[in-house]
Structure 1
Amino acid sequence: MKILHLLSTVDPRAGGPIEGVLQSGISMQTMGHEIEVVSLDAPDAPWLASFPLRLHALGPARGFYGLTPKLVPWLKEHATRFDAVIVNGLWQYHGYGTWKALRDSSVPYYVFPHGMLDPWFKRTYPLKHLKKSLYWPWAEYRVLRDARRVLFTTQEERLLARESFKLYRANEEVVAFGTRPPPADSTALREAFLAKFPQLAGKRTILFLGRIHEKKGCDLLLKAFANVRDIDTNAHLVMAGPDDGEFAANLRTLAKELGIETRMTWTGMLSGDLKWGAFRTSDVFALPSHQENFGIAVAEALGSRLPVLISDKVNIWREVKEDGAGIVTTDTVEGAADALSTWLRMDTAAVEAMREQAFKTFMQRFHVDAMSKDLVRVLRETAGPRGGRTDALRLKRQAG
């Protein structure tokens, strides 16, 4: 199959959707499929050179919404080369532009919301939600309504997506999601990471890896760690992720107030061998997030034989809990502290058993090849010839 992915950006700092497209794209190419990507990045954006898939950067985009005048003409000219077009993410122009270009086309498009319909955003940012509500009927609602399928990565995400807006219509389907396993040479990865951060040698490291953002529960993790630090004086908290924003500065201040600044390391964003080295060096992975659609980093941790301490707002928490691949609690200071204290008090045999289960869970549920095969299955079942689709869509729109 020939598949086109659309993203607002391929900047790796933007998080999970980019990594998902990247890993599934590489996997699908090895299966014989042709993958291309369109982004709204400017052609001279510094992160484009290292992106390994065939890429069309149609920017520069205008404003936060990412208005890109080249997108619709490009799609109208090139979309017929593809069997399917996949929009990754909502609330920026690449989705509406795809709808505008392909709504009456013979080329089907699909949408991965990637958790962007979670009602957490509605509760946490009511003013932003009000603005989105005004915009919703004229753009994102239509984008979802006319998509061949709206693809959710978990059943939890699918159910939550129905709660954000009263006007909602989508051809829903849950598909597997995952990532590639870590590189095999764990010793070299550990050595490279410890050469960069020698203060972590011999520490019992609790790793957070992701965007330093309010929704990730970073403040909960710091407060919880402060509550349990005396259980094991060798425990050390590592915060790995872009940390140049106001929220990160506030967290550093909080660490000083809690008296844990000497028990923490801030690495900044990690990629490549340093990222995998962080996983291989750590004792456990922690993510007490308030909202997490899937959590690529959670899957990467499991693939690194690293048990995970997550909240029940991470949408794969049921699988983790069912398998015993980690500890699941609430997205509160008390919940995070309970997970940390339980882990720090576990005996060696229980720890090793959970490590082995973490890897089994990754291979059975979250390996990228399972994701690629399931996505291909959905596309092949639904992207065939569609006689009369234009008339059907007109009737659908007239019905609201």
Structure 2
Amino acid sequence: MRILQINASYKPAYIYGGPTMSVSALSEHLVKAKHDVLVLTTTANGEEELSVKPNAAKVIDGVNVVYFDRITKDHTHFSPKLLNAVRQQASTFNVIHIHAWWNLVSVLSCAIALSKGAKVVVSPRGTLSKYSFKHKSGLLKSVFHKTIGLNLLRRCAIHATSASEQEELTDLINPKLIFNIPNFIQLPVFEQKAKAGDRDHTKLLFLSRIDEKKGLDILINALALVNIPWSLSIAGDGDVRYIERVKKLAVAKKIDHHISWLGFRQSDKFEIYRQHDLFILPSHNENFGNVVLESLSVGTPVLISKHVGLAGYVKEHNLGWIFDLDETLLKNTIELAAKDVDKRLVIETDAPALIASHFGDDALTQNYVDMYNQIDQND
């Protein structure tokens, strides 16, 4: 099968977090399964550009990738050369898979591909959540969705990565086809981490792209109320203004001396997960949450908000604690999890094998191939 993947960013642009890694992993596994895959992307790397030769094919970990120049250096990622490539090649693919929304790569590629009669599947990756419509140009998004976006999306198949995202997308779009397939995640070779409860304080970890959506300010306010010894490591980068706001909040709450800022981490992230007792993700909205599975894959229990796509999975398999976005409730959940050493030890022992069995590469690859086949055969 010949598959075109379109995303505004591709590795090594890890600054964009989970979506970049998920699209890369999907493309690589499809190639390993002997499918013909081409990725069209831009040189986007935050406010800078990747140091790659633009507008030329390059093989990245077995995948044919073309990085195109972009004119706008912000989240719109306007790239006329990429759009021209879509126009020229759209009809040569069985399926075109477009990732994310609300940028000119995704929206205009979708419109062009549909005009060429191509079969298109869109993975919004959280960009069409209710939270998205209420934040960051929410009114403009609503107007665009009602006048243009909805018409495009209803002509596409839709891919969700969790049951909660599927429910939101079904209500919003009423698509002709919708699929729920988890993201690929990088799974480490498991090594036993330090036993829970063998420290004089509870080591907490936040590891993710840092943005207001991630709820770090709520975590800081909750930690100021916690009555047990703790430390917090924050790994990641992102919105500079929001990071400064969180740092000032920690100082105001007089807890900044308990917090270590590790910056962006990639090559040693699994070791960082292992070094901590609990992983916390207090997001306002998360369509999936790769980091949740990464943490569990090394046996580190998770505390996640009910708005994280994987909350249902964590609850079903008793792999951590779910909380609502309230400072007092989060404070109570942290204390409960810190004291429940028996549950943490069970998760530490059982979670790695469970994650490997449920999110293994071969089964997920076949699920995606089945989706593409169904889309290709649908009139």
TM-score by length of 2: 0.87
Counterpart in the other structure of 2:252:
257
Counterpart in the other structure of 2:148:
139
Cα RMSD, aligned residues only: 2.6
Bigger strand fraction: 2
The whole-number CA distance in structure 2 between the counterparts of 1:134 and 1:342 is 44
Counterpart in the other structure of 2:56:
none
The whole-number CA distance in structure 1 between the counterparts of 2:51 and 2:333 is 37
The whole-number CA distance in structure 1 between the counterparts of 2:258 and 2:142 is 44
1:24 aligns with 2:26: yes
Helix, strand or coil for the counterpart of 1:3? Answer: strand
Counterpart in the other structure of 1:205:
203
Question: In the superposition, relative to structure 1, how do residues 264 and 361 fare at CA in structure 2: closer, same or farther (>3 Å)?
Answer: same
CA positional deviation for 1:244: 6.0
Letter in 2 for 1:257: A
Given the alignment, which residue of 162, 170, 187 partners 2:175? 170
The whole-number CA distance in structure 1 between the counterparts of 2:238 and 2:79 is 29
CA contact (8 A) 2:278 2:303 kept: yes
Question: In the superposition, relative to structure 1, how do residues 47 and 335 fare at CA in structure 2: closer, same or farther (>3 Å)?
Answer: farther
Given the alignment, which residue of 13, 16, 31 partners 2:15? 13
CA contact (8 A) 1:307 1:354 kept: yes
CA positional deviation for 1:211: 1.6
Bigger helix fraction: 1
Given the alignment, which residue of 23, 38, 47 partners 1:36? 38
CA contact (8 A) 1:326 1:358 kept: no
Helix, strand or coil for the counterpart of 2:34? Answer: coil
Question: In the superposition, relative to structure 1, how do residues 324 and 59 fare at CA in structure 2: closer, same or farther (>3 Å)?
Answer: same
Given the alignment, which residue of 283, 301, 306 partners 1:307? 301
Helix, strand or coil for the counterpart of 1:35? Answer: strand
Counterpart in the other structure of 2:110:
99
For residues 44-83 of structure 1, what are the alpha-carbon distances to aligned partners after superposition, in whole Å with 9 as ceiling and x for unaligned? 9326589533211222233542332223321232234422
CA positional deviation for 1:132: 1.4
**What aligned pairs does 1:4-153 form with structure 2 within 5 A after superposition?**
4-10=4-10, 11-41=13-43, 45-46=49-50, 48=52, 52=61, 53-62=63-72, 64-124=75-135, 128-147=137-156, 149-153=157-161
The number of equivalent residue pairs is 364
For residues 367-386 of structure 1, what are the alpha-carbon distances to aligned partners after superposition, in whole Å with 9 as ceiling and x for unaligned? 344332211111112213x6
Letter in 2 for 1:322: E
Question: In the superposition, relative to structure 1, how do residues 39 and 331 fare at CA in structure 2: closer, same or farther (>3 Å)?
Answer: same
Given the alignment, which residue of 247, 272, 278 partners 2:272? 278
Counterpart in the other structure of 1:238:
233
Helix, strand or coil for the counterpart of 2:37? Answer: strand
5+ residue gaps, structure 1: 191-200, 390-400
The whole-number CA distance in structure 1 between the counterparts of 2:164 and 2:214 is 18
The whole-number CA distance in structure 2 between the counterparts of 1:70 and 1:102 is 15
Counterpart in the other structure of 2:288:
294
TM-score by length of 1: 0.83
Counterpart in the other structure of 2:358:
365
Counterpart in the other structure of 1:355:
348
The whole-number CA distance in structure 2 between the counterparts of 1:177 and 1:266 is 30
The whole-number CA distance in structure 1 between the counterparts of 2:31 and 2:160 is 22
CA contact (8 A) 2:124 2:159 kept: yes
CA contact (8 A) 1:181 1:304 kept: no
The whole-number CA distance in structure 2 between the counterparts of 1:332 and 1:323 is 24
1:155 aligns with 2:157: no
CA contact (8 A) 1:91 1:140 kept: no
The whole-number CA distance in structure 1 between the counterparts of 2:100 and 2:145 is 14
CA contact (8 A) 1:208 1:239 kept: yes
CA positional deviation for 1:269: 0.8
Instruction: Using the TM superposition, name which of 45-54 and 298-307 deviates more.
Output: 45-54
Counterpart in the other structure of 1:394:
none
Helix, strand or coil for the counterpart of 2:279? Answer: strand
Helix, strand or coil for the counterpart of 2:221? Answer: helix
Question: In the superposition, relative to structure 1, how do residues 182 and 48 fare at CA in structure 2: closer, same or farther (>3 Å)?
Answer: farther
The whole-number CA distance in structure 2 between the counterparts of 1:308 and 1:226 is 20
The whole-number CA distance in structure 1 between the counterparts of 2:285 and 2:107 is 25
CA contact (8 A) 1:301 1:308 kept: yes
